[in-house]
Amino acid sequence: MLNNKICSTCEIIKVVEKLKKENKKIVFTNGCFDLLHIGHVSLFQKAKTLGDVLIVAINSDASLAQFKGPKRPLVPQTDRTQILAALSCIDYVVVFNEQTPYELLSVLKPDILVKGGDYKMEDIIGKEFVKEVYRYPLVEGKSTTKLIKLIIERYSKFSS
């Protein structure tokens, strides 16, 4: 079942073409989602309420390392796609290799693009390809960076 939710770029293009013919409202969000936390899940749940289908695009391992640094990702893309596909609010997961989802958005042209509130409207990549953009406030105190720091702080005494 999960594999039906995980698509290549070519597959997601065909899926979106079919969904558009069915007049489905398509919602899109993207990110690294390296260590999944409640802020991510909250964003996905809110995004899903905006349309019929939620597509989540994730950075590939290579693009994430370029974007976040050589110590990332902590969780490889194959695991990240499986974890996201297991969430009932997410309909499809696709991996993109570029630094941003610009090319993917230019082809898919979903109805709605959803980002976290830390993005300024003028900085949102691909907004010109969608009808609406939603920004949701971040869940206070929840971020992958904070989670990594907490793990290091709590478990540093165990390292050899």
Level-2 CATH architecture, domain 2-158: 3-Layer(aba) Sandwich (3.40)
Predicted local confidence at residue 151, as pLDDT? 86
- Of 59, 3, 65, 70, the C-alpha closest to 33 is 59
Residues in CB range of 38: below 8 A, 6 or more apart: 139, 142
Alpha carbon distances (Å) from 114 to 3, 55, 68, 128? 24, 10, 21, 13
Predicted local confidence at residue 160, as pLDDT? 53
Global confidence as pTM: 0.92
User: In the chain, what is the greatest distance between 2 CA atoms, to the nearest angstrom?
Assistant: 58
pLDDT tens track, the chain, 160 positions: 456 999 999 999 999 999 999 999 999 999 999 989 999 999 999 999 999 999 999 999 999 999 888 988 999 999 999 999 999 999 999 999 999 999 999 999 999 999 998 889 999 999 999 999 999 987 777 777 788 888 888 888 776 5
Amino acid in position 39: G
What b/e readout covers 110-133, taking b as 16+ CB neighbours within 10 angstroms? bbbbbbbeeeeeeeebbeebbeee
Predicted local confidence at residue 1, as pLDDT? 44
Predicted local confidence at residue 72, as pLDDT? 87
How far apart CA 140 and CA 61 sit, in angstroms, is 27
How far apart CA 157 and CA 151 sit, in angstroms, is 11
